[in-house]
Structure formats: C-alpha cells, structure tokens
C-alpha cells in the first residue's frame, strides 16, 4: 500500500520487468500471461480484503500493477485489456520510468 499525495491509499503490485503481458493464443487473439494472471488474482484478493476490513483510513483503494517493459507487450493490447477493469491500472516499468522522468522535468520547470 502506498499513500498518495491526496491522503488516499493505493495498492501496488510489482512483477518482473522481463515478463510478457500476453501469450499468443491464435493469430488474432492473445491471452494474459501466467504472471499477469497471478498479479490480477492477487490484486482482486487484496482489494476485496480492504473492502471487508473496512479500515477508516483506507477508502476504496485503486490498484496499480507494474509488469514488463515496452518490449514485452503491445500498448494497444494492454489498453483493450485494462479498459474493462475498474480501479486497476496496468503499466510497464518503461511507463513508470517515463512518468518519473516527466515529473522530474515538470518539477524542474516549476522551480
């Protein structure tokens, strides 16, 4: 769990940077990789536990799964897959790095 800048808590699940997000099922269709499926199952369990526990300082956390990198998936596939998930975001380590770099650039410009 990580506390956000606005005081809310979010859940972060980390998997390996070299994991593929999807495995080829057929020519036009892929399926989630085993590691991605495991991460999804863990996140569902953790979010459900947060709901059941009803902790006062944790209100409807969102989840972030960090897995793979820009060479282990196609952004379009990831976008389609995550478009049907509520409160769960799926990003790669490349995305995480780029977000951090842009944030540091922004901070440098603001000062």
Higher per-residue pLDDT: 14 or 111: 14
Chain segment 11-54, per-residue pLDDT in tens? 999 999 999 888 877 666 678 889 999 999 999 998 888 888 87
Q: What is the pTM of this model?
A: 0.82
Q: How far is CA 22 from CA 55, 66, 76, 81, 94, in A?
A: 35, 14, 12, 10, 16
Predicted pLDDT at 84: 84
Chain segment 59-108, per-residue pLDDT in tens? 888 999 999 998 877 888 888 888 888 889 999 999 999 999 999 999 88
Predicted pLDDT at 12: 95
């Amino acid at each position: 769990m990580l506390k956000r800048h606005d005081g809310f808590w979010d859940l972060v699940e980390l998997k390996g940077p070299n994991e593929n997000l999807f495995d080829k099922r057929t020519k036009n269709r892929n399926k989630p990789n085993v590691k991605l499926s495991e991460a999804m199952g863990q996140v569902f369990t953790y979010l459900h536990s947060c709901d059941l526990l009803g902790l006062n300082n944790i209100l409807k956390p969102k989840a972030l799964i960090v897995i793979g990198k820009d060479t282990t998936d196609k952004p379009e596939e990831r976008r389609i897959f995550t478009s049907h998930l509520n409160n769960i975001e799926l990003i790669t380590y490349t995305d995480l790095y780029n977000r951090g770099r842009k944030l540091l650039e922004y901070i440098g410009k603001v000062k």
